[in-house]
Amino acid sequence: MVEVHLWSGLKAYTGGAEKVEVEARNVGELLRGLVRAYPDLEPTIEAGVSVAVDGRIIASSLTEPVSPENEIYLIQRLKGG
């Protein structure tokens, strides 16, 4: 299981939890696992999110590996000007 930190605004979709656990080996599995566990997260995840793995921000790639040793944060999708 990997531990995923959510931003506070998502608490409404996870029964108040800001930290949740899902079974995942990569970012894609992590996002799918979040939606399975908390279906209300789906619109947010579908709209686009980034995943910070040990501080490295994964903006797009679903194949980046994750493991229980990683510090994982869900953050909002990055774009720029």
Partner 1 sequence: MAPDGNMTNGFKVVGTRPKRPDGVDKVTGRAKFGADANAPGMLHASIVRSPHAHAKILKIDTSKAESLKGVKAVVTRADFAEGLTGENWNILENVMAGDTALYDGHAVAAVAATTALAARDAAKLIEVRYELLPHVTDVDKAMAADAPVIRSGAADKSVPEGMHPNVVRYHESGHGDVDKGFAEADLVIEESFKTEATHQGYIEPHACLAQLGPDGKGEVWCCTQGHFNVQKVCAALVGTETSQLRVTPSEIGGGFGGKTVVFIEPVALALSRKANRPVKLVMSRSEVFRATGPTASTSMDIKIGMTREGKITAAQGVFRLQGGAFPGAPMEFTAMCAFAPYALENVHQIGYDVMSNRPKQAAYRAPGSPMAAFAVESVIDELCNKLDLDPIEVRLKNASKEGTKASYGPKFERIGLVETLEAARAHPHLTAPLAEGQGRGISCGFWFNHGGETAVSLALSEDGTVAISVGTPDIGGSRASMGQMAAEELGIPYENIRTTVADTATLGYNEISHGSRVTYASGLATIKAARDAVKKLCARAAAKWGIDEEAVVWEDGCAKPSGPNAGEFEPLPLAKIARSMGRTGGPIVGHYEATPEGAGVSFATHIVDAEVDKETGQTKVVRYTVVQDAGKAIHPTYVEGQFQGGAAQGIGWALNEEYIYGEDGRLQNSGFLDYRIPVASDLPMIDTVIVEVPNPGHPYGVRGVGETSICPPLAAIANAVSNAAGVRLTELPMSPPRILKALNDQAHG
Residue ranges that bind partner 1, judged by CB under 8 A: 5, 7-10, 12-13, 40, 43-44, 47, 52, 54-61, 64, 71, 73, 75-76, 78-81
Q: Which residues are paired to 28 by β-bridges?
A: none
Could you give the CA distance from residue 13 to residue 55 in angstroms, rounded to a whole number? 24
Residue with smaller CB distance to partner 1, 1 or 57 = 57
Provide, rounded to whole angstroms, the least separation between the CB of residue 40 and partner 1: 7
Closest CA to 26 of 59, 66, 54: 66
Residue with smaller CB distance to partner 1, 1 or 59 = 59
Look up residue 52 and give its amino acid.
A
